[in-house]
Amino acid sequence: MTAKTPAALCRRFNTLLIANRGEIACRVIRTARAMGLRTVAVYSEADADAVHVALADDAVLLGPARARDSYLNIDRIIEAAKKTGAEAVHPGYGFLSENADFARRCAAEGIVFVGPTAEMMEAMGSKSGSKALMEKAGVPLVPGYHGEAQDEKTLADAAAKIGYPVLAKASAGGGGRGMRVVNSADELSAAIVSAKREALAAFGDDRMLIEKFVLNPRHIEVQIIGDSHGNLISLLERECTLQRRHQKVIEEAPSPTLNAAQREAVCAAARKAAGAVNYVGAGTIEFVSDGKETFFIEMNTRLQVEHPVTELITGVDLVELQLRVAFGEKLPLTQDQITLNGHAIEARVYAENPNKNFMPSVGRIRTWQTPDKVDGLRIDAGYTEGKTVSPNYDAMLAKVIAWAPTRDLAISRLNRGLEETDVRGVITNIPFLSALITHPDVRANRIDTSFIERELAKLTPAETALTELELGAAVGAILQSEKIAAGRDAHSPWRASGWTAVGMRQRNFVFRQAEGERRVALRYGSGSSVLAIDGRELSFASSASARGGLDLVLDGVRHHVAGLLDGHEVYVRTRNGRFEVHWVDPFGTEDEEQAGADRVVAPLPGTVVALLVEEGAAVEKGAAILTLEVMKMEQTLRAPFAGTVKQLKCKVGDIVAEGVELAEIEPKG
């Protein structure tokens, strides 16, 4: 039986199933519907109320929250397609998007797979296999070992021959998972064990390759797309150098590092790489540059998270091109019709806490506010107010993307978009992103892939003290919350302007922050009010803004601020940044939290993947105790103080809930 040709796997269809979730599912659905297609969403039990489910014409429950029981279950996705009459499947990115078995199964069932064939995926999706193919095609490679032998001695000998530092990484997959930088031979064995375990969990494949770690590297990638008629084009390049743990954080197009000649050279190399397998569909050829030379590192045989920046500088809808290629159409553009217009930059918004080693944050989103639609700003999101961030999936909430005629202006627009985005209920990395893109070295393009690690302390500063502006905003947030509550209760005393419990025309507020307590007095006069702060009296007025947030007048200056009261916690955003402050309510009760700093507890629901000590072992403060896999990333829990491991309260494979004590450490006497 001969393999089907790419053209035989393409045909016109009317119903598209999106085998994914979150913002990419929403993004694909919008373009598909604009093209007149009927759309089908799939979802897990954890995603029953998700945005992509409501956006699609039909939706099918796949199974429990765990990805392997839902989004990674090929049988259930095929069954969903048949049940809904879907003639085609778009895999998005992640999950099954680069799974050759899934593409092959779709073809066998007569379902159009919106992407390359299984054979192309296998040729280019394997980091080892693609490097061998590129070497034969004459595409420059990073020095490394890409062989089949996976024993420890072979990998160690390869690393020694290449020379340290080296990069040990999974042959399958991407997203920074299963990847470790190794600086010496002593580190190699442990790094490979950890990388293999993470790769097996994420991709079901623990094969590794060893590469020379390029010092001060830049990450350059080229967007390509080919049709089933032999046409192949590149849509310029992107730069994704700003990364953390090999996970892209900021992406921009075009690369500010390349000149016109270098741009043409790297794009030509990308077309040569894709042409080596007569590639059909959208894909990305990734390169690493040391500032002088550019080396092929891998191909992603799917749409990328950062594809919007390419769309904004070329005016091309990549999902539309994917679907037209899947219809069997010829590409509507030739290479000389691809032109560069302006600059675009994207930031990935995650539910995570940069001040706590980027710990994922889960929970219900209580507030979701993004800027009004403005020229040059695009927000791709998979969440809205009231939705829940689950620990079972990737923590990305949205992408904020800005376009402008110049890079500097695009950065400023992106920063404004981030500054006006407020997500409450979970902790996000928005302040970190804002600090990152406005860093002088980022604006000047003095960066490499280790930039974030080097500058992390500056990018995650300690909370600063509240100024008069933040205190005024906090008071305004409380008054606005009470006004809204009073509107729901006709008998509320807060309906009477200036009411206080003791009948005085003064109301006192106490706010608690890390550095201590701040006291504010609100004094009501005849037609005017003042705030007394640290002995100063400032004129004060606050009201809901038509733009959202609050219009605050303080000491004669009008400010637009954000303010939100949640229980006793007040969140404010001013020109000085974002602040969390605790309101000591004189009529409420104070619930003190247990810090848990002296216990080894699960920070979030997760799976125990490694125990790194034995009971009875003496450990120093900071010693690694065990490893959890949380939201598809490994996290090592460490000893809070020096002592002896009295008891390990879990075993490898245990699924543990948030806050559960996993090990008991007896302090050193």
List, for residues 386-405, the tens digit of each pLDDT value. Answer: 999 988 898 999 999 999 99
Query: Would you say 291 and 311 are in contact if contact means Cβ atoms under 8 Å apart?
Result: no
**The two structure tokens encoding residue 449:** 């892939």
Fold of 600-667: OB fold (Dihydrolipoamide Acetyltransferase, E2P) (2.40.50)
What is the pLDDT confidence band of residue 495, given thresholds at 50, 70 and 90?
very low
Query: Minimal CA–CA distance to 577: which of 411, 438, 381?
Result: 438
Q: How far apart are CA 47 and CA 285, in angstroms?
A: 32
Query: Minimal CA–CA distance to 142: which of 83, 217, 86?
Result: 217
Q: Is residue 669 over pLDDT 60? A: yes
**The two structure tokens encoding residue 368:** 């979701």
Q: How far apart are CA 429 and CA 192, in angstroms?
A: 30
Planar angle of CA 371, 372, 377, nearest 5 degrees: 70
The residues facing 513 across adjacent strands are 516
pLDDT attached to residue 141: 86
Contacts with 230 (C-beta within 8 Å, 6 or more apart), sequence order: 278
From residue 49, give the alpha-carbon distance in Å to each of 387, 525, 535, 578: 7, 49, 51, 29
Q: How far apart are CA 257 and CA 249, in angstroms?
A: 17
Q: Is residue 501 over pLDDT 60? A: no
Fold of 128-141+218-341: D-amino Acid Aminotransferase; Chain A, domain 1 (3.30.470)
First CA to last CA distance, the chain: 74
Can you say how many angstroms the Cα of residue 518 is from the centroid of all Cα atoms in its chain? 36
Q: Is residue 494 over pLDDT 60? A: no
Amino acid at site 543: S
**The two structure tokens encoding residue 592:** 């003190």
**The two structure tokens encoding residue 22:** 């979150």
Query: Minimal CA–CA distance to 293: which of 309, 317, 269?
Result: 269
pLDDT attached to residue 653: 86
Fold of 342-461: D-amino Acid Aminotransferase; Chain A, domain 1 (3.30.470)
pLDDT attached to residue 525: 67
Contacts with 219 (C-beta within 8 Å, 6 or more apart), sequence order: 239, 240, 241, 243, 248, 286, 287, 288, 289, 449
Average pLDDT over residues 448-465: 91
Query: Would you say 89 and 81 are in contact if contact means Cβ atoms under 8 Å apart?
Result: yes
Q: How far apart are CA 651 and CA 659, in angstroms?
A: 16
From residue 325, give the alpha-carbon distance in Å to each of 117, 169, 303: 12, 32, 13
What is the pLDDT confidence band of residue 497, given thresholds at 50, 70 and 90?
very low
From residue 420, give the alpha-carbon distance in Å to each of 401, 414, 537: 13, 10, 29
Amino acid at site 648: L
Q: Point out the residues that are catalytic.
A: 302
Mean pLDDT of all residues in the chain? Answer: 89
Which phi and psi (to 5°) does residue 623 adopt?
-65, 145
Query: Would you say 538 and 468 are in contact if contact means Cβ atoms under 8 Å apart?
Result: yes
Query: Minimal CA–CA distance to 654: which of 606, 604, 614?
Result: 606
Q: What is the pLDDT of residues 208-262, one digit of tens each?
A: 999 888 888 999 999 999 999 999 999 999 999 999 988 999 999 999 999 999 9
CA dihedral 25→26→29→33, nearest 10 degrees, is 180
Q: Is residue 426 over pLDDT 70? A: yes
Q: Is residue 32 over pLDDT 60? A: yes
Q: How many CB atoms lie within 10 A of CB 654?
A: 15
Amino acid at site 555: D
Q: Which is higher by pLDDT, 669 or 163?
A: 163
Which phi and psi (to 5°) does residue 494 adopt?
-75, -10
pLDDT attached to residue 2: 39
Q: Is residue 205 over pLDDT 90? A: no
**The two structure tokens encoding residue 54:** 């409501």
Query: What is the DSSP secondary structure assignment for residue 141, as one 8-state letter?
Result: B
What is the pLDDT confidence band of residue 7, given thresholds at 50, 70 and 90?
low
Q: Is residue 126 over pLDDT 90? A: no
pLDDT attached to residue 203: 81
Task: Look at the chain and count its residues.
Answer: 669
Q: Is residue 667 over pLDDT 70? A: yes
Q: How far apart are CA 645 and CA 648, in angstroms?
A: 7
What is the pLDDT confidence band of residue 98, given thresholds at 50, 70 and 90?
very high
Q: How far apart are CA 358 and CA 356, in angstroms?
A: 5
Q: How far apart are CA 97 and CA 94, in angstroms?
A: 6
Q: How far apart are CA 1 and CA 656, in angstroms?
A: 49
Query: Would you say 400 and 436 are in contact if contact means Cβ atoms under 8 Å apart?
Result: no
**The two structure tokens encoding residue 141:** 């490679």
What is the pLDDT confidence band of residue 589, given thresholds at 50, 70 and 90?
very low
Architecture of domain 468-583: 2-Layer Sandwich (3.30)
Q: How far apart are CA 553 and CA 559, in angstroms?
A: 6
What is the pLDDT confidence band of residue 503, given thresholds at 50, 70 and 90?
very low
Query: What is the DSSP secondary structure assignment for residue 594, as one 8-state letter?
Result: P
Q: What percent of the chain lies above the pLDDT cut of 70?
A: 92
What is the pLDDT confidence band of residue 43, given thresholds at 50, 70 and 90?
very high
Q: How far apart are CA 366 and CA 416, in angstroms?
A: 22
Q: Is residue 466 over pLDDT 60? A: yes
Q: What is the pLDDT of residues 267-318, one digit of tens each?
A: 999 999 999 999 999 999 999 988 777 889 889 999 999 999 999 999 999 9
Q: How far apart are CA 223 and CA 283, in angstroms?
A: 6
Query: Would you say 538 and 522 are in contact if contact means Cβ atoms under 8 Å apart?
Result: no
Q: What is the pLDDT of residues 593-616, one digit of tens each?
A: 333 346 898 877 788 999 999 999
Q: Is residue 628 over pLDDT 70? A: yes
Q: Which is higher by pLDDT, 591 or 356?
A: 356
What are the extents of the domains in the chain? 6-114, 128-141+218-341, 143-212, 342-461, 468-583, 600-667
Q: Is residue 339 over pLDDT 70? A: yes
Q: Is the dihedral of CA 85, 87, 91, 97 positive or negative?
A: positive
pLDDT attached to residue 586: 67
Query: Which residue has tokens 């600059």?
Result: 343
Beta pairing class for 529-533 and 516-524: antiparallel
Which phi and psi (to 5°) does residue 499 adopt?
-65, 140
Average pLDDT over residues 632-661: 87
Give the helix/strand (H/E) hosting 324.
helix 318-327
Q: How far apart are CA 400 and CA 250, in angstroms?
A: 10
Give the helix/strand (H/E) hosting 380.
strand 377-381
Superfamily of domain 143-212: ATP-grasp fold, A domain (3.30.1490.20)
Planar angle of CA 51, 284, 176, nearest 5 degrees: 70
128-141+218-341 and 342-461 share one fold: yes
What is the pLDDT confidence band of residue 452, given thresholds at 50, 70 and 90?
very high
Cis bond leading into 64, ω under 30°? Answer: no
Least confident of 28-32, 103-107, 144-148, 376-380: 144-148
Amino acid at site 438: T
pLDDT attached to residue 591: 37
**The two structure tokens encoding residue 650:** 């879990």
Radius of gyration of the chain (CA): 27
Q: How far apart are CA 277 and CA 410, in angstroms?
A: 36
> Class assignment of domain 6-114?
alpha beta
Q: How far apart are CA 426 and CA 505, in angstroms?
A: 37
Query: Would you say 575 and 464 are in contact if contact means Cβ atoms under 8 Å apart?
Result: no
Q: What is the pLDDT of residues 341-388, one digit of tens each?
A: 999 999 999 999 998 889 888 888 988 999 877 889 999 999 999 999
